[in-house]
Structure 1
Amino acid sequence: MLFAFIDESYTKDRYYVAAVLVDADDLRALSAAVARSAEYAAGYGVELGTEFHAHSIMSGRDGWEPVQGKPRAAIAIYRDLLRELSGLPVSIYIEGVDVPRLNARYRYPDPPHLVTLRHVLEDLQQAAAMRGDQVIVICDEVTDQEAHSKKFGEYQLIGTPGYRSTTLSRIEQFMFADSRQSPGLQFADAVAYLYRRRDAHTESSARTARAVEDLWAVIRPRARKARRWDP
């Protein structure tokens, strides 16, 4: 059995969904990796048990106040978290969309979250099929999760739209969970935020831009797919 942990990151003009795919036998290793990163962060004064949330780390909020105004410390913690993830036998899938182009191309476009989530589910379907396995999908909680669950049910009945149409037969369960209780979702958040920062944000300083690229280089070997769809 495979498990996929999904989270999103977005701006007004770009939307991204990232999935971290892992075998059930490696879930303990996933939790242990987050625990090690928590110990590392504790060395900077961050309380053990603080949720790894990329925006909070970089802004020094929600328990990450010890690194507020200390970008080198925040980046060091972020890098350590990504190194832990890159050392695991995981596969990463990232799907993005250009929102203005989406709205310009279609008269009644689907919401960007739905579009990117659908594309990631299609990626997971293909990955599970290649392994001859089933996958349980766990998404971070969102306000419109009931609508997403309803759409997933429709996909399994009539198939996803587009040229990769599939009934997602390899996805055994589709659910939402609290990221505070899920190491997998915290890893997915770190990946989604970083790719959004890299693809949709123009950094104000060359040093920060290099730091973003350095962080992406840590996780790139685990990325099986990372793209932005420009309709």
Structure 2
Amino acid sequence: MLHAFIDESEFGAHYFILGALIVRDENLEAMNHALDEILAEYAASTEFVRPDAELHGYDMMQQKGDWDGVPLRLASSVYARAMKVIDQYAEAFYVECIDRVRQAERYVRLYNHRSTAIGYILERVHEYAHRLNEHAVTYLDDHYTAPAGRKEFIQYKSLGTFGYRSSRLDRIDEMDFHDSREFRGLQAADLCTYIYNRVTNCSDAVPKAVTAQNRLWDSIASIRSRGRCRIWP
């Protein structure tokens, strides 16, 4: 069994991004435990990090939410160690990015960027599971569009997905929306997707920031090599 954790990120009104982190069932508990251990270690050695803090890329780098008041060097250190754990225990990382500007330039009829991205990313999960002769369960971060998303998944299973290589996703057994605080897997997907957004769209940031984000991106080279990152159209 495979677990696919799907998280979203955006870059203004230009890019809508979905990242899917795929983890084998036998490695999921070990990944969760290793991520918990990182936070427990920092919580024991510093007053700033909470052991139950949510691993959220934007919050960690911008000192928001659970990471409000945490020095950037500490948050960056936690981030770097978490990414190494993710690369060690996960199977693959996929990205489907919708370029909303280019779509408007090329197509008269505009497809909903969220629905399109979800359809494409589910196709990638299905293809990976088929390649391994496995089945997958998918988890998405909870969102106000969850009811519509559940209905679309039922339609995909009965009628096929949006793409020209339509699939009924027979290798995906379940898809549902969850609170990311309850799943380290969703948090891990967020860390990877946020860094993809940064390296794709923020190459003109200050040199120190560019170096840091490139280092984080390079630290998941193994799972990236077994997945794919694509911008459509």
TM class, shorter-chain normalised?
over 0.9
Which of 51, 66, 69 is the aligned partner of 1:66? 69
Q: Percent identity between the aligned chains?
A: 28
In the alignment, the residues of structure 2 paired with residue 100 and residue 66 of structure 1 have an alpha-carbon distance, to the nearest angstrom, of 36
Residues 114-169 of structure 1: CA deviation (Å, up to 9, x unaligned): 22221111111111111111111111101111111111111111111223211111
Stretch of structure 1 that moved more, 135-144 or 86-95: 86-95
Aligned partners of 1:37 and 1:84 also within 8 Å: no
Stretch of structure 1 that moved more, 180-189 or 198-207: 198-207
Equivalent residue for 1:7?
A: 7
Q: Provide the TM-score with structure 2 as the length reference.
A: 0.92
Stretch of structure 1 that moved more, 208-217 or 95-104: 95-104
CA gap of 1:203–1:75, structure 2 versus 1, over 3 A, is farther
> Runs in 1 of length 4+ with deviation above 6 angstroms?
none
Equivalent residue for 1:94?
A: 95
**Structure 2: which 5+ runs fail to align?**
none
In the alignment, the residues of structure 1 paired with residue 90 and residue 101 of structure 2 have an alpha-carbon distance, to the nearest angstrom, of 36
Equivalent residue for 2:205?
A: 204
**Structure 1: which 5+ runs fail to align?**
none
Shift of 1:180: 0.4
Stretch of structure 1 that moved more, 83-92 or 122-131: 83-92
Which of 54, 59, 62 is the aligned partner of 1:56? 59
Equivalent residue for 1:172?
A: 173
Q: How well do the aligned residues superpose, as a CA RMSD in angstroms?
A: 1.5
Does the residue aligned with 1:166 lie in a helix, a strand or coil?
coil
Which letter does structure 2 place at the counterpart of 1:54?
A: G
Stretch of structure 1 that moved more, 39-48 or 54-63: 39-48
Shift of 1:89: 4.1
Equivalent residue for 1:229?
A: 231
Shift of 1:188: 0.5
Does the residue aligned with 1:87 lie in a helix, a strand or coil?
helix
Equivalent residue for 2:146?
A: 145
Which letter does structure 2 place at the counterpart of 1:145?
A: A
Which letter does structure 2 place at the counterpart of 1:9?
A: S
Which letter does structure 1 place at the counterpart of 2:59?
A: S
Aligned partners of 1:40 and 1:77 also within 8 Å: no
Equivalent residue for 2:26?
A: 25
Does the residue aligned with 2:4 lie in a helix, a strand or coil?
strand
In the alignment, the residues of structure 2 paired with residue 133 and residue 88 of structure 1 have an alpha-carbon distance, to the nearest angstrom, of 17
Does the residue aligned with 1:138 lie in a helix, a strand or coil?
strand
Equivalent residue for 1:135?
A: 136
Does the residue aligned with 2:89 lie in a helix, a strand or coil?
coil
Q: Provide the TM-score with structure 1 as the length reference.
A: 0.93
